[in-house]
Structures are given as structure tokens and as C-alpha cells.
Amino acid sequence: MKHLKFGNYREARTWTGDLPEALVSTACAAEITLPARNRSIPVTALAVEFSAGFTERSPYGLLGGTFTPANLSQLKVHIGSDSNGCRQIFSSPLRSSWEKVYVGLPQEYVKSVKDGLRSAQEWVDLPAGELTIDRGAHSETGSSSWLFRHLATVFLRLVSTPVKEMTDQGIVSAFEDGIPHSTL
């Protein structure tokens, strides 16, 4: 796991390989298919978490999953969500104790994740295969559709980058391009 701080109380964590304990059910996953190039990227497990500010209404979100390459001309994405209304507390968020953070991706954010993936396809060289988004966490007041749309673009940009090519500056750039700090 990498923990990066990049000013104005903004910070992020990324995981590659071992993902955080924020598993979301994919039993009734939403799906989206995007055009992709058949380029070689290995299996990649990745999660991204973002927090800005230090009040209970400050932006917060976590999104993650696994990419598996396939000999296709598309990227097929499965997005898990909360369908049972379970309210499990996420035990190790970036946020401090002033607000509860829950495991899961509420249905209201699934559309935003889809929108973020669609917008990212315009400037990300997508690999061909299957991407299962099965990690998520949100806060009661700091999470928003807007934030999850931007987290999806950051996530897809990083998933499309081979792990050995990820630098701290590249990760910070992905967040700064995907989540404009001027609106936080």
C-alpha cells in the first residue's frame, strides 16, 4: 500500500496486489462494455482511496477491483454494489473518527462509476479483458456521486498502467487529473 499526501489536506492510498477489506458483492453486478485495444497487461488487483479536508463533509471514497486480461477487443466491467443494505463499518479508512465510513458501493454511486469509466475511455488506452470492481467504501456525508465518478477515472487510469511503471508522481498526477483540487 502507498500513502500519498499532496497538499490542501488531500491524501490518497493505493493498493496493488493485496486489496483492503472492503469487499462488495458482485452477485447482481452492473455491467458496462468499453472498446479496448488488445494490449498485454498482466492480472492487476488495485484499489484507490481518496480523502480531502478534515471535517465530516469532506470528500471521501474508496474503489477497487481486479483486471484480468483476455483476448478480446473490449473491456468488460462488472461493478458490484450494496443490494442488501448491510452497514458494515470499514475498519481502517483514511478519515479520522469524526465520521463513520462504511464498506460498500451504494447503488446511487454505481451510475457515477459507469459515467467515470465512460469518460476515462476517451483519454486512457484501455486494455482488453475483464475488470471486476468488488471493493468500495463511502462515508455518510463526505461521499458523493461526483466523487465516485472521478474515483472511477483515477482507478481506470491506474489499472491501465502496468504496476511496474507506476511512480508516486504518476499516481499523484492521476488523482490531480481525475479529481480537480479546485473543486474540493
- Cell numbers linked to 34: 468499453
- How far is residue 19 from each of residues 29, 158, 174, measured CA to CA in Å? 19, 14, 19
Is 177 part of any domain?
no
Is 29 part of any domain?
yes
DSSP per position, 23-39:
B---TT-EEEEEE-B--
User: Does residue 167 sit in helix, strand or coil?
Assistant: coil
Give per-residue pLDDT as tens, 73-92.
899 999 999 756 667 888 88
- Cell numbers linked to 101: 465510513
Give per-residue pLDDT as tens, 135-151.
999 988 889 999 999 99
- What pLDDT score does 55 carry? 64
- How far is residue 103 from each of residues 20, 62, 161, measured CA to CA in Å? 10, 9, 26
Look at residues 131, 128, 142, 127 and name the one whose alpha carbon lies nearest to residue 95: 142
The residue range of the domain holding 149 is 2-160
- What pLDDT score does 174 carry? 82
User: Does residue 140 sit in helix, strand or coil?
Assistant: coil
E-only strand ranges, the chain? 2-5, 10-16, 30-35, 44-52, 60-69, 74-79, 101-103, 129-139
Is 15 part of any domain?
yes
Confidence class of residue 165 from pLDDT cuts 50, 70 and 90?
A: confident
The pLDDT of residue 126 is above 60: yes
129: CATH: 3.30.230
- What pTM did the predictor assign? 0.89
- What pLDDT score does 97 carry? 58
What percent of the chain shows pLDDT beyond 90?
46
Is 181 part of any domain?
no
The tally of domains found in the chain comes to 1
Is 166 part of any domain?
no
